[in-house]
Chain A
Amino acid sequence: MNNASTWQLLSAIMRRDLAVALRRRSDIINPLLFVVIVVTLFPLAVGPGPDILGRIATGVIWVAALLSALLGSERLFRDDFLDGNLEQLVLLPAPLPVLALGKISVHWLLSGLPLVILAPLCALLLKLPIDAWGILMLTLLIGTPMLSAMTAVGAALTVSLGRGGALLSLLLLPLFIPLLIFAAAAVESTLVGTSAYGHVLLLAGLMLLTLTLAPLAVAAAIRVSVN
């Protein structure tokens, strides 16, 4: 008889995911390096003038963040699927969406949060005016959990395919559009001196909605994938 409570199971799952991820540090670092390299390429492509760079900085950083989220998304469920832990996850006596949210949280902790911390460096490289750094980090802080949750949906849907890479971006990138629009607009409005309060509020609302619904979709997708 397995008497573990949902919280005990959730904490065990999260601790194990953390322990595994910390053994494979390159999986954490590579997507971050990817962002830095993409950001470095832009000044080389469009010229280093601060007016152009400052204008496109937010967009570049956000698009790079979206792409790096895709890059790191396979890590979410691929190993669990291959070694059989995904089916054991389904068989745990706890609501699967809760466990899925746990896995999403760990993924965010190791991919989203470092990106937020890295943002000032990217902003510096792209000559984003320093007044906008704070709001850029704030939008990333609100937006990256959404990225983790949405990529989890896509990763769970394609995990049993083995070659999900290109398909995954087709599925996910259209769904990232609202996030991209509102995050960029928030930074933009700060740059032109108006309040970004409304945008941030909207982003926060979207984040709550995503974090509520995405775990349900992830759970359903995992059940389909372990078939």
Chain B
Amino acid sequence: MSVVLEAQQLTSVRAGRTLFSDLSWQLAAGEILHIEGPNGAGKSTLLRIVAGLLQPLEGEVLLFGQPQREDPELWQRQTLFIGHKPAVKAELTALENLHFQSRLDGVQLDDPWQLLETVGLLGLEDIPAQQLSAGQQRRIALARLFYSQAKLWILDEPFTALDTRGIDLLHQRFAQHLEHGGALLLTSHQPLTWSGERLQRLRIEAADE
């Protein structure tokens, strides 16, 4: 299997505290890396470093062997990051959100209604997002996954606020993504109902000085 993502000796210090140091791992196509750890261990920080929002104090991240710093634009084209905040515009409806978001992701949506149905938002499409529940807003954000062609998905707590059906739906979509040679990096407090050797676990804990 080809290596999609590689981290080399990552070290991060936030607010004077060492979160992790000398962290190295590899992620091959078709694999999931599940980052585990207690609150404040630096899971989100690690994800944001991989996404390119933060700079590690030391170390480097490589995508297909290319260092992040060399061509950030290429990096952004190949990856998709969804953080804690859903990046949904509260004033716009679900349909409008999908419309603009898909353009920002460089995708021409052939059938937005189909997508709305897939994520279970059909019938709610013309209500401003601020009037929807947290889980429904989350679904708008996660709809990106159903058209995304990005090779690497970076998801921070994707199951938050989702009901069991939503979680199942995501699992199915993850499976498709992996079958197509994609890779997935995620944090989650929910146990992953994932079988097999495709799942890697990485546990980080705040290092004591």
In the complex they form, whether A and B have CB atoms below 8 Å apart is answered with yes
What residues of A have a CB within 8 angstroms of the CB of B103 in the complex? 4, 8-9, 12
Do most interface residues of chain B lie in helix, strand or loop, or is the interface mixed?
Answer: loop
Q: Is the CB of A90 within 8 A of B77?
A: no
A94 to B72 Cα, complex, angstroms: 10
Question: Inside 8 A of B78's CB, which chain A residues have their CB?
Answer: 1-2
User: What residues on B are CB-neighbors of A19 within 8 Å?
Assistant: 91-92, 96, 100
Interface centre among A3, A79, A93 (most CB of B within 10 A): A93
- A13, A23, A24: the one within 8 Å of B104 (CB): A13
- The reply to whether B76 and A12 contact each other, CB–CB distance below 8 Å, is no
Cβ < 8 Å to B, chain A residues 4-30: 4, 8-9, 12-13, 15-16, 19-20, 23-24
Set of chain A residues within 8 Å of B51, measured between Cβ atoms:
91
Tell me whether A1 and B151 are in contact (CB under 8 A).
yes
A2 CB contacts on chain B under 8 angstroms: 76-78, 105-107, 149-150
Chain B CB within 8 A of A82 CB = yes
A62 to B67, CA, bound (A): 50
A66-B203 Cα distance, complex, nearest whole Å: 52
In the bound complex, do residue B104 and residue A92 qualify as a contact, i.e. CB atoms below 8 Å apart? yes
Interface size on B, residues (CB 8 A): 32
Q: What DSSP secondary structure best describes chain A's contact surface?
A: helix
Known: A20-B91, A93-B73. A87 touches B100 (CB 8 A): no
Evaluate contact between A93 and B76: CB separation under 8 angstroms: yes
CB contact under 8 A between A16 and B105, given known A90-B53, A227-B54: no
- Type the 1/0 row for A208-227, where 1 means its CB is closer than 8 Å to any CB of B: 00000000000000000011
Q: A195 at the A/B interface (Cβ < 8 Å)?
A: no
Asked if B84 lies at the interface with its beta carbon under 8 angstroms from chain A, I say yes
Most buried by B among A16, A91, A94, A227: A91
Interface size class of A (residues with CB under 8 A): 20 to 34
Q: Does B198 contact A (CB under 8 A)?
A: no
Would you call B76 and A16 a contact (CB within 8 A)? no
Instruction: Provide the bound-state CA to CA distance between A84 and B51, in Å.
Output: 14
Identify the closest chain B residue to A6 (Cβ). Answer: B73
Chain A contacts for B77, CB-based, 8 A: 1-3, 93
| Residues of chain A with a CB closer than 8 A to B79's CB | 91
Q: Which residues of B contact A20 (CB under 8 A)?
A: 89, 91-92
Q: Which of B111-160 contact A (CB under 8 A)?
A: 128, 149-151
**Pick from A8, A13, A23: contact of B92, CB under 8 Å:** A23
The verdict on A40 contacting chain B, using a C-beta distance below 8 Å, is no
Q: Is A83 an interface residue (CB 8 A)?
A: yes
Q: A226 contacts which chain B residues (CB < 8 A)?
A: 53
> Does residue B192 face the partner (Cβ distance < 8 Å to A)?
no
| B90 beta carbon closer than 8 Å to chain A | yes
C-beta contact mask, B55-99 vs A, less than 8 Å → 1, else 0?
000000000000000000110111101011111111110001000
B100 touches A12 (CB 8 A): yes
Report whether B53 and A23 are in contact in the complex, using a CB–CB cutoff of 8 Å. no
Instruction: Find the B residue at minimum CB distance from A16.
Output: B100
| Cα separation A57 to B109 with both chains bound (whole Å) | 53
Contact mask for chain B residues 12-23; partner A; CB cutoff 8 A; 1 contact, 0 none: 000000000000
Extra A-B contacts (15), CB below 8 Å, given A1-B78, A24-B91: A2-B106, A2-B149, A2-B150, A4-B103, A16-B89, A16-B100, A23-B91, A83-B89, A84-B83, A84-B85, A84-B88, A87-B53, A87-B83, A88-B104, A91-B79
Chain A positions near chain B (C-beta within 8 angstroms): 1-4, 8-9, 12-13, 15-16, 19-20, 23-24, 79, 82-85, 87-88, 90-94, 226-227
Interface residues of B (CB under 8 A from A): 51-54, 73-74, 76-79, 81, 83-92, 96, 100, 103-107, 128, 149-151
23 contacts between A and B (CB under 8 A): A1-B78, A1-B149, A2-B76, A2-B150, A8-B103, A12-B100, A12-B104, A16-B89, A16-B100, A19-B91, A20-B92, A23-B91, A23-B128, A82-B85, A83-B87, A84-B87, A87-B85, A88-B81, A90-B53, A92-B104, A93-B76, A94-B73, A227-B53
